[in-house]
Amino acid sequence: MATTIHEPPAVNAIHAPELGAGKGAWPRNPSEGNLRMLADHSSGASRTGIWVGLAAISMTFAAFTSALVVRQGSALDWRHFALPSVLYFNTVILLASSMTLEVSRRRVAAFARGFDSRRAIPLGWLYVTLAMGLIFVAGQFAAWMQLKAQGLYLATNPSSSFFYVLTAMHALHLLGGLGGLVLVISRLSKQIPTLRRSTMDTASYYWHFMDVLWLYLLLLLWLKF
C-alpha cells in the first residue's frame, strides 16, 4: 500500500489577500481611486486572455490564407494587379502608431510606479496613436477607392475578392483595437484614473499584433497579386 501524506501548502495569514489575488478573485476597487496604488491583480488572466484571443485571430487569417491559396490554384482566372500605392503609406502610419503606443505604455508604467506624475504625456501619445489608427482605416478606404477606380470590385475577380475580404477583416479587427484605445484613454482621463496596467498592456499587445498581422497580409498580397 502506497502511503502519501499530503502536506498542506503554507498559508501566510498576513499576506493572505495577495494569495487570492489573480487566483480566483479580484479586488472590488483595484485602484482605490489612485492609479499609483493599483496592484494589478488581473495581469495573469489578461495576458492569457489576449494571447488566446490572438491565437484565434491567427487561425481565422490562416483559414483565409489557405482559402486564397486553394482558390488561386483551382482555376486559371486569377488576375494580377498592382497594389494601391496608398497601402505603403498606411503601413508606415500603422508601424508609427505602434511606436507611439509603446511610448505611451511605458509612460503609463512610469506614472503608475510614481516615477512620473504627468498624466498628460501618456494621454497625448495615446491620442496620437488613436489618430494614426483612424488615418490607417481611412487610408484602407482610400485603397478600396483606388481599386474601384480601376474597375476592380469585390466580385470582379477572385484576387480582388480576397483583397477586399482580407483588408476589410483586418480593418474590422483594427476597429476593435481602436475601441480598446478609447477605453484606455477614457479610464486614464478620469479625474481619478481607473486604468489597470493590464488593460493598457492588453490593448498594446492587441495593437502591436494588428501591425504584425498587417505586415503579413501585405506580404501575402504582394506575393499573390
Partner 1 sequence: MHDMHVPAVHHHAPPQGFIRKHVFSLDHKVIGEQYYGLALLAVLIGMVLSWIMRLHLGWPTLSIPGLQLLSKNGAPGGIPTPEYYLQLMTMHGTFMVFFVLTTAPFAGFGNYFLPIQVGAEDMPFPHFNMMSFWVTFVAFVVALAAFFVPDGPPLSGWTGYAPLSALGAVAGPGQGLGQVLWAASLAIFCVGQLLGSLNFISTTLDMRCKGMSMMRLPLTVWAWFITSAMGLTAFAVLMPACILLILDHVAGTSFFVASNLVVNDQLQPHSGGSTLLWQHLFWFFGHPEVYVAIVPGMGVVSHVLITNMRRPMLSHRVLIYSMAALAFLSYMVYGHHMFVSGMNPFSSIVFSFPTLAITIPSTIIVLIWIGSLYGAKLRINSASLFALGFISLFVSGGVSGFFLAQPSLDILLHATYFVVGHFHFTMAIAAIFGIFAGTYFWFSKVTGRMMNETLGKIHFWFTFVGAYSIFMPFHYLGIAGNVRRYQAFVDDYLQPLLGVHKFITVAALVTGAAQLIFLYNLIYSRFRGPKAPQNPWEATSLEWTIPSPPPFDNFGGKLPVVYHDPYQYGIEASSGDYVMQDSPEQVQTVHDEK
C-alpha distance from residue 32 to each of 1, 35, 81, 172, 193 (Å): 54, 8, 57, 35, 10
**Closer residue to partner 1 (CB): 59 or 219:** 59
**Closer residue to partner 1 (CB): 39 or 103:** 39
**Closer residue to partner 1 (CB): 10 or 117:** 10
CB of 120 to partner 1, least distance (A): 29
**Closer residue to partner 1 (CB): 4 or 191:** 4
End-to-end Cα spacing for the chain: 69
CA-CA distance, 2 to 36, in Å (whole number)? 52
CB of 218 to partner 1, least distance (A): 19
**Closer residue to partner 1 (CB): 45 or 103:** 45
| Residues 200 and 103 sit within 8 Å (Cβ to Cβ) | no
Q: List residues binding partner 1 (CB under 8 A).
A: 1-9, 11, 16-17, 19-20, 22-28, 42, 44-46, 48-49, 52-53, 55-57, 59-60, 62-64, 66-67, 70-71, 74-77, 154-155, 158, 161, 165, 169
CA-CA distance, 221 to 111, in Å (whole number)? 41
CB of 176 to partner 1, least distance (A): 12
CB of 95 to partner 1, least distance (A): 26
Q: What are phi and psi of 6, to 5 degrees?
A: -85, 110
| Residues 206 and 199 sit within 8 Å (Cβ to Cβ) | no
CB of 178 to partner 1, least distance (A): 18
CA-CA distance, 6 to 92, in Å (whole number)? 58
| Residues 149 and 160 sit within 8 Å (Cβ to Cβ) | no
| Residues 193 and 31 sit within 8 Å (Cβ to Cβ) | yes
**Closer residue to partner 1 (CB): 70 or 82:** 70
CB of 166 to partner 1, least distance (A): 10
Q: Is 21 helix (H, G, I), strand (E, B) or coil?
A: strand
194: cell is 481607473
**Closer residue to partner 1 (CB): 74 or 85:** 74
CB of 154 to partner 1, least distance (A): 5
